[in-house]
Amino acid sequence: MDRDEILKKAQAGKIGMDEREQQVLGLSFGIGGILTVLLCVALTVARLISGQDAYDYTAIVFLYLAGTELHLYWKTRRRGAALLAAGCGLVCAGNLAMLLLG
């Protein structure tokens, strides 16, 4: 494989962004996810203080965590990430069941 062919293959895998832009995008999603979790925690605390349940916000947080760990497993093939993704998915499903079943 010659140099030009390798360069074309490397560029074909990108989505129109250079490596720095891809890193910034990844960091942006991480910060957005953290802010979403913090908002859900604040809303959960407010609901619990007022005597209501917060299964919906808890499901959102655990679905986010499950998705993050599943992506990490997909990229690294670490067994721990797959187990954590499955655990978070089960907690999410449990919260959704409690929300829907009352």
7 in any annotated domain = no
Q: What pLDDT sits at residue 53?
A: 96
14 in any annotated domain = no
Residue 10 confidence class, pLDDT cut points 50, 70, 90: low
User: Half-sphere exposure (CA, 13 Å, Cβ side) for 75?
Assistant: 6
Host H or E run for residue 14? none
94 in any annotated domain = yes
Domain count, the chain: 1
Q: What pLDDT sits at residue 12?
A: 61
88 in any annotated domain = yes
Q: Residue 83's domain spans which residues? A: 54-102
Residue 2 confidence class, pLDDT cut points 50, 70, 90: confident
pLDDT at residue 36 tops 70: yes
40 touches 60 (CB < 8 A): yes
78 in any annotated domain = yes
Q: Which amino acid is at 39?
A: L
Residue 18 backbone class (left: φ over 0; alpha: ψ -120 to 50; beta: rest): beta
Tens digit of pLDDT for each residue in 43-79? 999 999 999 999 999 999 999 999 999 999 999 999 9
* C-alpha distances out from residue 96 to 24, 34, 38, 59, Å: 33, 21, 20, 6
